[in-house]
Chains A and B, each alone.
Chain A
Amino acid sequence: MHNLIQLSIIVLLLPLLSFVLLIFFNRKLPRNGDFLGVGFLAATFGLSAWIFWDVVVVNYDPSFRVAWDFTWIDFGDVPGVGPLQIKMGIFIDNLTAIMLAMVSLISLLVHVYSTGYMSGDKYYGRYFAYLGIFTFSMLGIVLSDNLFAIYIFWELVGLSSYLLIGFFFEKDSAADAQKKAFLTNRVGDIGMWLGILILYSQFHTFGYEEIFQHIKAGDFHMSQAWLTAAGVLLFMGCVGKSAQFPLHAWLPDAMEGPTPVSALIHAATMVAAGVYFVARIFVILTVDALHVIAFIGAITAFMAATIAITQHDIKRVLAYSTVSQLGYMVLGLGVGAYSAALFHLLTHAFFKACLFLGSGAIIHAMHHEQDMRWMGGLAKKMPWTFVTFTIATLALAGLPLTSGFMSKDAILAGALGFAEAEGGGIYFLIPVLGFFSAMLTAFYMGRQIWLVFFGESRTHLKPADSHDDHHGHDEHGHVHEVPWAMRLPLVILAALSVFAVYSPDPLDGAKGWFMHLVPTPETVVAADMGADREDLHKEVVSDVADTGHDGADITQGDSQHKEEHLTEAVAAHGEDSGSGQGHHGDDGHGGSTGHGHDTGHDAAHGEEHHGPVFSDPRQAAIAHAAHENHDHAIMYSSIMVALGIGLALIVYAFRFIDPDKTAQRIRPLYLYSFNKWYWDEIYDATVIKGSLLISKILAWFDSNIVDGIVNGVGALVRKFGTFSGGFDTYVVDGLVNFTAFFVQTSGAAMKKLQTGKVQTYLVLALVAVTGYIIYYFVQLVS
Chain B
Amino acid sequence: MLSLIVFLPILAGLIILAVPSSQKQIIRIVTLLAALGQGILAVLIWQGYDPSLPGITASADGSLDGSFQFVERLPWITLDLGTFGTLNIEYFLGVDGLSITMVLLTALISIIGVLSSWTISKQVKGYFILYNLLSTAMMGCFVALDFFLFYVFWELMLLPMYFLIGIWGGPNREYAAIKFFLYTLFGSVFMLLVMIGLYFSVIDPATGNHTFSLVAMASQENYIAGSIFGPESVFWRYAAFIVLFIGFAIKVPMFPFHTWLPDAHVEAPTPISVILAGVLLKLGTYGMMRINFPFFPEVFQASLYVIGVFGVINIIYGAFCALAQSDLKKLVAYSSISHMGYVLLGLAANNSEGMIGALYQMFNHGTITAMLFLLVGVIYDRAHTRQIDKFGGLASYMPVYAGIVTVAWFASLGLPGLSGFISEAFVFVGAFSAEVTRNLAIVSVLGIVFGAAYLLWSLQRMFLGKRKPDAVYELQKDAEGNEIIHFHDWKGKNDLDGRELAMLVPLAAIVIILGIYPMPVLGMITSSINKLVEVLSPVVLTALN
Contact = CB atoms under 8 A, between A and B. Distances in A.
B433 interface: yes
A686 interface: no
Interface string B312-332: 000001001101110000000
Nearest to A84: B352
Interface stretch (A44-52, A71-79, A354-362): A71-79
Contacts of A182: 452, 456
Contacts of A709: 256
Interface stretch (A463-471, A493-501, A689-697): A689-697
B462 to A, nearest CB: 11
B19 interface: no
A574 interface: no
Contact of B460 (A175, A201, A702, A707): A175
Given A155-B416, A691-B450, A710 B259 contact: yes
Contact of A183 (B255, B258, B456, B533): B456
Q: Dominant SS at the A interface?
A: helix
Contacts of B323: 691-692, 695, 699
B441 A74 contact: no
B445 A200 contact: no
A159 B320 contact: no
Given A79-B534, A179-B457, A193-B448, A172 B324 contact: no
Interface string A152-175: 111110010000001001111011
A194 interface: yes
Contacts of A420: none
A199 to B, nearest CB: 10
Given A75-B352, A79-B533, A170-B465, A696 B432 contact: no
Contacts of A118: none
Contacts of A172: 464-466
Interface string B207-231: 0000000000000000000000000
Interface stretch (A94-102, A184-192, A544-552, A580-588): A184-192
Interface string A660-693: 0000000000000000000000000000000110
B410 A159 contact: yes
B182 interface: yes
B509 interface: no
A204 B430 CA distance: 10
Contact of B352 (A78, A151, A186): A78
Given A159-B410, A182-B452, A699-B324, A75 B356 contact: yes
Given A152-B417, A183-B456, A79 B396 contact: no
A80 interface: yes
Interface in A62-95: 72-81, 84
Interface string B418-456: 000110010011001100001001100110111011001
Nearest to B445: A190
B523 interface: yes
B387 interface: no
Contact of B259 (A81, A154, A706): A706
Contact of B527 (A76, A176, A197): A76
B320 A79 contact: no
B294 to A, nearest CB: 14
A200 B349 CA distance: 15
A194 B393 contact: no
A709 B518 CA distance: 42
Nearest to A698: B320
Contacts of B110: none
A90 B66 CA distance: 38
A193 B530 contact: no
A714 interface: yes
B465 A187 contact: no
Contacts of B324: 692, 695-696, 698-699
Q: Name which of A174, A190, A194 has the most chain B CB atoms within 10 A of its CB.
A: A190
Interface residues of B, number: 60
A709 B425 CA distance: 35
A148 B353 CA distance: 14
Nearest to A169: B464
B432 A74 contact: no
B537 interface: yes
Contact of A190 (B421, B433, B446, B527): B446
A513 to B, nearest CB: 35
Contact of B432 (A72, A81, A201, A706): A201
A80 B537 contact: yes
B464 A175 contact: yes
Given A169-B465, A186-B449, A194-B442, A78 B530 contact: yes
Contacts of B356: 75
Contacts of A175: 460, 464-465
B188 interface: no
A190 B449 contact: yes
A198 interface: yes
Contacts of A166: 464
Contact of A197 (B320, B429, B446, B533): B429
Given A182-B456, A187-B449, A699-B325, A198 B533 contact: no
B135 interface: no
Given A190-B445, A699-B324, A200 B465 contact: no
A189 B522 contact: no
B255 to A, nearest CB: 8
A258 to B, nearest CB: 16
A159 B449 contact: no
Q: Name which of A148, A166, A201 has the most chain B CB atoms within 10 A of its CB.
A: A201
B320 A714 contact: no
Nearest to B526: A76
Contacts of A692: 323-324
A276 B242 CA distance: 50
A698 B321 contact: yes
Contacts of A204: 433
Interface in A353-408: none
Given A80-B537, A155-B416, A710-B259, A179 B456 contact: yes
B351 interface: yes
A174 B393 CA distance: 13
Contacts of B183: 710
B306 to A, nearest CB: 18
B466 A170 contact: yes
B533 A699 contact: no
Contacts of A153: 416
Nearest to A190: B445
B415 interface: yes
Contacts of A156: 415-417
Nearest to B433: A201
A396 to B, nearest CB: 33
Given A695-B320, A695-B323, A179 B533 contact: no
A175 B519 CA distance: 36
Interface string B294-319: 00000000000000000000000100
A175 B464 CA distance: 6
Contacts of A74: 519, 522-523, 526
A95 B360 CA distance: 37
Contacts of A200: 429, 432-433
A187 B530 CA distance: 33
B311 to A, nearest CB: 16
A75 B445 contact: no
A3 B423 CA distance: 34
11 contacts: A76-B527, A81-B352, A169-B465, A170-B465, A179-B460, A190-B449, A193-B445, A197-B428, A200-B429, A692-B324, A695-B324
- Which 9 residue pairs spanning A and B have beta carbons closest together? A699-B324, A152-B416, A695-B323, A175-B464, A197-B432, A707-B259, A695-B324, A76-B526, A78-B352
Interface of A: 72-81, 84, 148, 151-156, 159, 166, 169-172, 174-176, 179, 182-183, 186-187, 189-190, 193-194, 197-198, 200-201, 204, 691-692, 694-696, 698-699, 702-703, 706-707, 709-710, 714
Given A74-B519, A74-B522, A170-B393, 6 more contacts: A76-B352, A79-B534, A155-B415, A170-B466, A171-B465, A179-B456
